[in-house]
Amino acid sequence: MGSLDIKTKRLSVEGKLKDVNGPSFSSRISQEIKGNNALNRPYQSIASQVLYGRLNDLPKKVRHYVEDNVKLCKPDTIHICDGSERENELLLYLLQRDGMIKPLPKMDNCWLARTDPKDVARVESRTFIATEEMRDTIPVVKNGVTGTLGNWMSPEDMDTELNMRFPGCMKGRTMYVIPFSMGPVGSALSKIGIELTDSAYVAASMRIMTRVGTKVLKTLGNGDFVKCLHSVGVPLPLKEPLNNNWPCNPKDTIIAHLPERNEICSFGSGYGGNSLLGKKCFALRIGSILGKREGWLAEHMLILGIENSKGVKKYFVAAFPSACGKTNLAMMKSALPDYKVTCVGDDIAWMRFDKDGKLRAINPEAGFFGVAPGTSMKTNPMAMETISRNTIFTNVAETSDGGVFWEGLEGEVPRTTKIKSWLGVEDWHPEQGKQAAHPNSRFCTPAAQCPIMDEKWQDPEGVPIEAIIFGGRRPEGIPLVYEAFNWQHGVYMGASMRSEATAAAEHKGKVIMHDPFAMRPFFGYNFGHYLKHWLSFQDKETNKLPKIYHVNWFRKDKNGRFMWPGFGENARVLDWIFRRVDGEDCAVPSAIGNLPKKGSLNLEGLQDNVDMDALFSIPKDYWQQEVRDIAKYFDEQVHEDLPPEIMKELRGLEARVNAL
Ligand code: OXD
Ligand code: MN
């Protein structure tokens, strides 16, 4: 094991997704071994291993899924999660006993986990989607080019990879059976998953990030669910000592999605998006495929409400690549006293046009798994309040008085406090040149604790969306805000998104990466087909298509200073969008889209001296290069799968930019 080649056999034209509820990996393996019928086997054989919960409470399909995986992974014991407080106490006790978390006495029921430093972020290079037809998953790239829009493997090859990893992988450990709902339990927009994991940290975190427990099983009945198998990949007894008591197996890590069987199998990492399978794996990768099949959208977007002083409220969604401030925007404290922002979600939106043609969104999650560094009373007071209790922190630094610390909190801890870094360096000082907290360190906290959660954040109908905002970290050339001419142009804008690289994955440095729709690491299927899916919504006349925007809070001047103050001041941009959506005539067309008319952005009370002309300038050379870069990207990466409508938009942009 170890190296994973991306196999590129089996080309075909666009294939249909089929056999979606096919047998799980474990049941196929056990059928091969025993040649018996999966649905009629007795399950009593594992009953004696159940230490918590009742096997009999599981619907038949779930029971068989558990049984197959117990036989495959061979855990010692089984814990069926009910979502109760008693269970939470047990999980926290076990995690403390195993040295995986410690209490933070300055805070209320808050915990600190430090991982093996080799397991700190999503591992995109080992994240695969296995479908019969490669082209269902990734576009066929131009000759000689390495694809960057996902990794494909055939289901047969994937079975071989999984077979090398999962048999016996949970020996000596407990398997937690986590029934969870993405979205409010019972909403027509929600979906149910069952995660089987040998990590109590994952079980404790899933309780925060999703709705877990008995109620979910009742709603599921004998329906189908997304099968989510996770193992840290370190059976007991240990062969070598753990680092920070954090079991993981980086050498053999694989995060596998099998959409044709509604299945996820993740091995070797206990961290974040690799192990909390409801989030990126289900809600985005599998979710986007379900959306394509069923006519809706699963997107890497925050959802916010914005209400003016007349009590008129609108909801917007916004897509930004990881670590671009989505959580800050979703919980923004408006610098414009006339506006109040409320939060529906900070990371993922599931959206569907309802029967009246209104786009409605739910947040499929129940918690925030936010990047800690940069979060402070100045940048996000709502998040600071949210994380003051019932929160699991991972890879942040700790203070000698039992609190937490990370880059950005310098002004908010007393000078006398000593800091221990995430790597365990006592008496840490910035002069040592190392970071106190890992740049991808996180808080995992219940959404319900956020003081500005929107009153409708759990509404099973979802909230009506009136604007879609795209954005990224663009130090040069890209104005603060511009508006798409129409839906198709907006889809082009999403497709051409770029941003500086992030610490949330394994990428290094400050390179500007293409990150279409902020979904590059999260597409569940061929990006060209995804674009077609987005474009298809303009074909239905009854759809009330939201307006689409691009924003950039991160433009810098010649001296490398941000030109726009950002944070609460971004409400000025939301205000302009709000008024545009209401039909106000406050925009002028430009080469790249509609810009705010001079004076139409409300700058009243803005303390900073902002050079608005520079902030909104469209440098011809820069945009000509941008067009060339995007054309190259589409040609190399999306190639024949690029819808002609998107190429038409690019050519239109090119002509307008050349005429500047
Ligand atoms: C996240 C990410 O963790 O986008 O939300 O990486
Ligand atoms: Mn994210």
For 79-123, the pLDDT digits (tens) are 999 999 999 999 999 999 999 999 999 999 999 999 999 999 999
Ligand 1 atom with the smallest distance to the CA of 522 is 4
Looking at the CA of 502, name the nearest ligand: 1
Under the banding of pLDDT at 50, 70 and 90, the label for residue 12 is very low
Q: What single letter denotes the amino acid at residue 83?
A: G
User: Helices (H) and strands (E) in the chain — how many of each?
Assistant: 17, 31
Please provide residue 211's backbone torsions phi and psi, each rounded to the nearest 5 degrees: -90, 115
> Residue 3: its pLDDT value, please?
46
- Partners of residue 550 on adjacent β-strands: 470, 482
Q: Taking residues 229-245, report their average pLDDT.
A: 98
pLDDT at position 40 over 70: no
Ligand 2 mean position to 268 CA, how many Å? 21
> Residue 2: its pLDDT value, please?
47
pLDDT at position 17 over 50: no
Instruction: Provide the terminal-to-terminal Cα distance of the chain, rounded to the nearest Å.
Output: 55
Ligand 2 mean position to 321 CA, how many Å? 7
Ligand 1 mean position to 373 CA, how many Å? 14
Looking at the CA of 368, name the nearest ligand: 1
What tens digit of pLDDT does each residue of 612-650 get? Answer: 999 999 999 999 999 999 999 999 999 999 999 999 999
Q: Are 446 and 366 in contact (CB under 8 A)?
A: yes
Indicate the DSSP class of residue 228.
E
Ligand 1 atom with the smallest distance to the CA of 272 is 3
What tens digit of pLDDT does each residue of 248-269 get? Answer: 999 999 999 999 999 999 999 9
> Residue 45: its pLDDT value, please?
78
Annotated catalytic residue within 281, 324, 444, 450: 324
Looking at the CA of 507, name the nearest ligand: 1
pLDDT at position 37 over 50: no
Q: Are 26 and 68 in contact (CB under 8 A)?
A: yes
pLDDT at position 31 over 80: no
Ligand 1 atom with the smallest distance to the CA of 273 is 3
Under the banding of pLDDT at 50, 70 and 90, the label for residue 15 is very low
Name the H helices within 537-587.
571-581
pLDDT at position 310 over 60: yes
Q: Taking residues 395-413, report their average pLDDT.
A: 96
pLDDT at position 10 over 80: no
Say whether 228 is catalytic. Answer: no
Looking at the CA of 372, name the nearest ligand: 1
| Pocket perturbation via mutation, ligand 1, pick of 371, 395, 497, 517 by most ligand atoms within 8 A of CB | 371
CA dist 91 → 52, 176, 200, 208, 263 (Å): 11, 10, 6, 13, 26
pLDDT at position 407 over 50: yes
Ligand 1 atom with the smallest distance to the CA of 326 is 5
Please provide residue 106's backbone torsions phi and psi, each rounded to the nearest 5 degrees: -70, -20
Ligand 1 mean position to 428 CA, how many Å? 27
Ligand 1 atom with the smallest distance to the CA of 371 is 3
Q: Taking residues 309-335, report their average pLDDT.
A: 93
> Residue 324: its pLDDT value, please?
85
> Residue 565: its pLDDT value, please?
95
Are β-strands 547-551 and 463-471 bridged in parallel, bridged antiparallel, or unpaired? Answer: parallel
Instruction: Identify the weakest region by mean pLDDT among 28-37, 408-417, 613-622, 646-655.
Output: 28-37
> Which residue, by CA, sits nearest to atom 4 of ligand 1?
322
> Residue 22: its pLDDT value, please?
73
Q: Taking residues 354-361, report their average pLDDT.
A: 97
pLDDT greater at residue 19 or residue 297: 297
Burial of 518 (0-12, 13-18, 19+ CB in 10 A): buried
Instruction: Identify the weakest region by mean pLDDT among 36-40, 428-432, 596-600.
Output: 36-40
Q: CB count, 10 Å around CB of 372?
A: 27
Ligand 1 atom with the smallest distance to the CA of 442 is 3
> Which residue, by CA, sits nearest to atom 2 of ligand 1?
322
> Residue 44: its pLDDT value, please?
53
pTM here is 0.94
Residues enclosing ligand 1, CB less than 6 A?
A: 122, 272-273, 322, 347, 369, 504
> Residue 504: its pLDDT value, please?
53
Under the banding of pLDDT at 50, 70 and 90, the label for residue 9 is very low
Percent of the residues in the chain that have a pLDDT greater than 90, as a whole number: 88
* Angular region, 390: left φ>0, alpha ψ -120 to 50, beta rest: left
pLDDT at position 26 over 90: no
- CA nearest to 75, candidates 194, 204, 201, 231: 231
Ligand 1 mean position to 337 CA, how many Å? 31
Ligand 2 mean position to 375 CA, how many Å? 16
pLDDT at position 16 over 70: no
Ligand 1 atom with the smallest distance to the CA of 502 is 6
- How is residue 532 written in tokens? 């077609």
| Pocket perturbation via mutation, ligand 1, pick of 281, 322, 438, 473 by most ligand atoms within 8 A of CB | 322
Are β-strands 587-589 and 50-52 bridged in parallel, bridged antiparallel, or unpaired? Answer: unpaired
| Pocket perturbation via mutation, ligand 1, pick of 255, 347, 438, 517 by most ligand atoms within 8 A of CB | 347
Ligand 1 mean position to 354 CA, how many Å? 28
> Residue 322: its pLDDT value, please?
78
Under the banding of pLDDT at 50, 70 and 90, the label for residue 507 is low
d(CA 371, CA 391): 13
Ligand 2 mean position to 300 CA, how many Å? 6
Looking at the CA of 122, name the nearest ligand: 1
Which residues 6+ apart lie within 8 Å of 87 measured at CB? 52, 81, 207
> Which residue, by CA, sits nearest to atom 1 of ligand 1?
322
DSSP assignments along 30-62, one per residue: HHHHH---GGG---GGGGGGEEES-GGGS-HHH
CA atoms within 13 A on the CB side of 468: 29
CA dist 100 → 110, 152, 199, 245, 270 (Å): 13, 34, 10, 6, 11
Under the banding of pLDDT at 50, 70 and 90, the label for residue 24 is confident
pLDDT at position 389 over 70: yes
Q: Taking residues 584-595, report their average pLDDT.
A: 98
Q: Taking residues 520-536, report their average pLDDT.
A: 98
Are β-strands 397-399 and 404-405 bridged in parallel, bridged antiparallel, or unpaired? Answer: antiparallel
Which residues 6+ apart lie within 8 Å of 35 measured at CB? none
What tens digit of pLDDT does each residue of 442-500 get? Answer: 999 999 999 999 999 999 999 999 999 999 999 999 999 999 999 999 999 999 999 98
What average pLDDT is seen over the chain? 93
Stated as kind and residue range, the H or E segment containing 101 is strand 101-103
